[in-house]
A and B are shown apart, each in its own frame.
Chain A
Amino acid sequence: MAAKGCCTEWEQELVLYGDGELAKDGSERVERHLHKCQECSSFYNEMVREENLISGALRRQAAPFAPRDAFSESVMMALEARSPETVWTRLQNYLHELTVVTYVRTRPHMAAAISLLICLAGALIAPQINTPSEDHYIHVTRNGKVFRVSLLEPIHVWNAEGEFFELPDGSILYATAGTWFSLEAFQEGGGAASVGSDRLISLKSGELFVDVRPAKEAFSILTTNSRTTVFGTQFYVGVQVGVDKHTTVGVRQGRVIVEKQARNQLGSTVLTDGEETHVISRNSKVTLSAPDTIDPELLARLNRFYDARSDRTMQRLEPNLPAIEGEIIPAAADSLETALIPSAT
């Protein structure tokens, strides 16, 4: 069935003309026809009018979410967060380039032989790199007291009582009362030599104020529904655990990327100075809100943290909490490797 009021044989031509898909002579032919055929002219004008309406509506739907200047930056940050660039990856790239690009085209058998040699060498060397020796400890300062910690297991901190922690990379954390978190990072890299190569904290509940020492490697905080990655900044992460899990991330200074951590649900946003976002899990759906101006009260707390972090006086941050001697509890009671032993020095 042809469109109402249109010569059947011209309908397709008119659509192609409207889409700019006709060559010059075809367009001219259609234009001549439109000039002399009132029915086709009315049909064409109505078609254009309706398509403009629907096109405008669809564009309005898409516009608020169209990629902005920040999109490529967001992709590059997410890339760094997901697969940090290390010396090893660079070496892999270099070797790949050397073997594949140089040899494959000219000497495929040599490429295969070299790849095999690289694999063998890697298999021999990798365990040496990743096996921590007895000397591989890190030092964590908790409320001014230095602890020597083994790197073999995550270090759990239950019920912090409003305390400062200084990590081996110089980053400073403040955990409010009742906060439960674990340091995952400083054992994953496999030794003191690689401290800072993968800085990862898992926040189970409570609040952390963080002043990350700038470094090339990303610093991440995982919660039940989010991953916050930074490269040197002052920010806050809080988790309320209940029926609905609610993560709040606020930034005093710098840039952080916040990603949803949920199966089959993707999403991330970039926060800059004075912005906050919320990640909420409800009925198995995780939502990530758009960046908004930081809550003034949270900003005031972040400012107090920033002022207090140099002398580590927690009273200035949470004046109602008395300072107590902290204790880091090992992940497993029978694992002496994870026990936090006051440093001999």
Chain B
Amino acid sequence: MPEKTEATLIREVLKGKRECFRPLVERYQSKVFVLANGLLGNGPEAQDIAQEAFLLAFQKLRELEDPEKFGSWLYGITRNLCYNARRSRKIETEPYDESYHQHMANVIAMRPPGEEGESITAVMLRRLERMPDKYRDLLRLKYVEDYSYQEIAEMLDLPVDLVRSRLFEGRRILRERMEETRSEEYGR
């Protein structure tokens, strides 16, 4: 039996067959979760937001004008929930912390050669968390699921060209900061 299209499933849900909503959840759950995790950087919270996004989508399904655009509409709901969550918990990029920087350089210097990688990872994660939102959101999506530029553009509602340039810029900034860390390490 061929898989029902999203538009067909949505029409069935609107007719009252709420079980038809389940395949839509199964189809989008991974992407919605990864998007929420990318925007919030917090797994448990991302899972809660993902569930809330589906519940809201169900409640507002009649407002969806074009059933073919269910995916991007759902991503929009997810983004809004994430931005609200960010505002309510007042996420702010941490100020530059020189002592942490020094500490991580020490950790790298003190590790035996075989364990160096783990420290670099920790520094890179910290660097990533300190990036401006516009780069960090994109980089998280790229790194966690290796989505294509087109998919990321759809999830964040951005032009593909902007996704391409921001990913490029973001990575360059990240690399440069890593280079700075290494220079400090060698310079000690």
A interface residues, Cβ below 8 angstroms from B: 1, 3-4, 11-12, 15-16, 19-21, 47, 50-51, 53-59, 61-62, 64-67, 71-72, 74-76, 78-79, 82-83, 85, 89-90, 93-94, 96-97, 264, 266-268
Chain A nearest Cβ from B53, distance in angstroms? 9
When chains A and B are docked, how far (Å) is the Cα of A57 from the Cα of B124?
10
- What is the 8 Å Cβ interface bit string for chain B, positions 125-161, against chain A (1 contact, 0 not)? 1001000000000001011101011000000000000
CB-CB < 8 A to A96: which residues of B?
14, 62
CB-CB < 8 A to A66: which residues of B?
30, 33, 43
| A56 and chain B: residue at smallest CB distance | B121
B34 and A62 contact, CB distance less than 8 A? yes
Chain A nearest Cβ from B148, distance in angstroms? 7
Chain A nearest Cβ from B27, distance in angstroms? 10
B88 and A90 contact, CB distance less than 8 A? no
Interface stretch (choices B70-78, B106-114, B167-175): B167-175
Q: Shortest 3 CB-CB distances between A and B: which pairs?
A: A65-B43, A93-B16, A55-B143
Given contacts A4-B179, A15-B167, contact A79 B144 (CB under 8 A): no
CB-CB < 8 A to B44: which residues of A?
65, 267
When chains A and B are docked, how far (Å) is the Cα of A267 from the Cα of B49?
8
A57 and B125 contact, CB distance less than 8 A? yes
Chain B positions 40-94 with a Cβ under 8 Å from a chain A Cβ = 41, 43-44, 46-52, 54-55, 58-59, 62, 84-85, 88
B55 and A79 contact, CB distance less than 8 A? yes
B121 and A15 contact, CB distance less than 8 A? no
The A/B interface has a contact count, at CB < 8 Å, of 130
CB-CB < 8 A to B179: which residues of A?
4
CB-CB < 8 A to A78: which residues of B?
51, 55
B143 and A266 contact, CB distance less than 8 A? no
When chains A and B are docked, how far (Å) is the Cα of A233 from the Cα of B121?
47
Partner pick for A61 among B33, B43, B124, CB 8 A cutoff: B43
A62 and B43 contact, CB distance less than 8 A? yes
When chains A and B are docked, how far (Å) is the Cα of A61 from the Cα of B49?
17
Chain B nearest Cβ from A201, distance in angstroms? 23
**25 A-B contacts, Cβ less than 8 Å apart?**
A3-B175, A16-B164, A19-B142, A19-B149, A21-B164, A54-B121, A55-B143, A55-B146, A57-B122, A58-B140, A62-B33, A65-B44, A66-B30, A66-B43, A71-B50, A76-B21, A76-B25, A79-B55, A83-B58, A93-B15, A94-B16, A264-B88, A266-B48, A266-B49, A268-B48
B184 interfacial by beta-carbon distance below 8 Å = no
Listed residue (A53, A82, A97) with the most chain B CB atoms within 10 angstroms of its CB = A53
| A18 and chain B: residue at smallest CB distance | B171
Chain B nearest Cβ from A267, distance in angstroms? 4
A51 and B33 contact, CB distance less than 8 A? no
Chain B nearest Cβ from A86, distance in angstroms? 11
